[in-house]
Amino acid sequence: MSAEQLVHLVNVQIVPVSLFLIMLGMGLSLVLDDFRRVVSYPKAVAIGLSCQLILLPLIGFGLASLMPLTPELAVGVMLLVVCPGGTTSNLYAHIAKGDVALSVTLTAVASVVTVFSIPFIVNGSLLHFMGESEEITLPIARTMASLVLLTIIPISIGMTVRRFKPALAIAVEQRVKYFAVIFLALLIAFLVYQQRDTFVDSVISAGPVALLLNISTMLIGFYGARLFALNRQQSISITLETGLQNSGLSMVLALGMLNNYAMSLVPAIYTGVMFITAGVLVYYVGRQRSITDSDSVPARQES
């Protein structure tokens, strides 16, 4: 197999099929109550979705416009910020003792909403950063159909399996999570190899943007939630949901729909950044909880 055939295989088959399986795994963890919480807890869901679907793209656009990025990397930033949170945010919310139910609901609802918002925002970003002379566009109808095929359908299949075969769903869900981590690692390794001549320069250019984007949005997510009097567990979940993006979907957009490796580098770089910052946050939250718990235990009196 030639290098060109391998690239085509990865772009057109391996990456989309892998994302389909990852979204199927997400569906295996969902039940209808995850969507009903929109009505049960409207304030928390509204704040979380506002941070993720409105503030995150606005901050990303601002950074992409102000920072010295190439047009391809700037569009890569926008590909990242228009995507919903991934299953990783739910896992980190569980580890950090956040509101896991809220995290799952935000991921599920955002995955549906972004099917309709991604084509318009990405096309606007292509026009703004690449200029009218470039012929790179996302056909609106075809892109929505592809996103439905890659997100809504596998999520629906997974939810159906969870409804009628819950034991099977729980068993398979854990394996899919492991697959998602391995897939992202392999995909990033492939991108690094494919763009090895420019990767270091891309990290130098886009690395600070990825770090600033991640930290600023997580801070806004946390303090925005606290400002509206949400509890600590809800604030933690919104923070993680805002900071942990579905970078796999971003790379599918760059590779499978725009056929542009340079645009996929920002999501790849951001993946490494978000895992580090989320890990630091989980450690800090756990440490604070340990200190609080130890302070709440009355000291043992000496006999």
pLDDT of residue 7: 60
Q: What is the pLDDT of residue 71?
A: 92
What are the tokens at 285?
A: 């939250």
Nearest to 231 by CA among 141, 125, 97, 112: 97
Mean pLDDT of the residues in the chain: 85
pTM, rounded to two decimals: 0.86
Q: What digits encode the pLDDT tens for the residues 146-198? A: 889 888 998 899 999 999 998 988 888 878 877 777 887 888 888 888 888 88
Whether residue 237 is contained in a domain is answered as yes
pLDDT in the model for residue 78: 95
Give a yes or no: residue 302 inside a domain. Answer: no
Cα separations (Å) of 204 from 43, 76, 217, 283?
39, 15, 21, 27
Q: Is residue 301 a part of any domain in this protein?
A: no
81 within domain boundaries = yes
Q: Please check whether residue 300 lies inside any domain of the structure.
A: no
CATH code where residue 171 lies: 1.20.1530.20
Instruction: Tell me the per-residue pLDDT of 261-287, one tens digit each, with 9 for 90 and over.
Output: 889 899 989 988 998 998 898 888 888
Please state, in angstroms and rounded to a whole number, the distance separating the CA atoms of residues 295 and 290.
Answer: 9
Highest mean pLDDT among 50-59, 83-92, 174-183, 276-285: 50-59
Number of structural domains (the chain) is 1
pLDDT score, position 300: 44
Q: Where are the alpha helices (H) located in 32-165, listed in sequence order?
A: 33-40, 42-50, 56-66, 71-81, 87-95, 100-130, 140-147, 153-164
pLDDT, position 294: 63
Domain presence at residue 47: yes
Write out the residue range of the structural domain in which residue 287 sits.
Answer: 3-293
